[in-house]
Amino acid sequence: MQNPCTGFVPPPSAFTTKKGGITMTTFFMFGKYSPEALKGISADRTKNSVGLIKKFGGEIVSMYTLFGENDLVLIVRFPGIEDAMKTSIALSKMSGISFSSEPAVAVEEFDKMMTGI
């Protein structure tokens, strides 16, 4: 799917997997807690977040807390950029955590894409 902001169309094999015939793109979703979001940390909110990701067609690869510029990173696969964007906004509205989401490319695939440049 073409990125509406940049016009970039990712190669089909660059950072995708197949799930039931659907091409899934890997995204890194970086989260930052607001002061209010810190007060709501709980296993229930995590469970609700997982449900929300699945509602928008996502599949969680892994989730981590971080100690640095970002507080969380979720590694998630989505059918497309629109699904990732909707999930990012829905998670922010539900949790108070702000998310920025970026597509990820495996280094091996990146090397293949760069051949001949």
Tokens of 27: 């995204």
Q: At what angle are helices 43-55 and 81-95 packed, to 10 degrees?
A: 150
Domain extent, residue 68, equals 17-105
113 found inside a domain: no
| Number of structural domains in the chain | 1
112 found inside a domain: no
Q: What's the predicted TM-score (pTM) here?
A: 0.78
pLDDT in tens, 97-117: 999 999 998 888 889 889 988
Q: Are 70 and 32 in contact (CB under 8 A)?
A: yes
Rounded Cα–Cα distance for residues 112 and 105 (Å): 11
pLDDT in tens, 26-48: 999 999 999 999 999 999 999 99
Query: At 44, which CATH number?
Result: 3.30.70.260
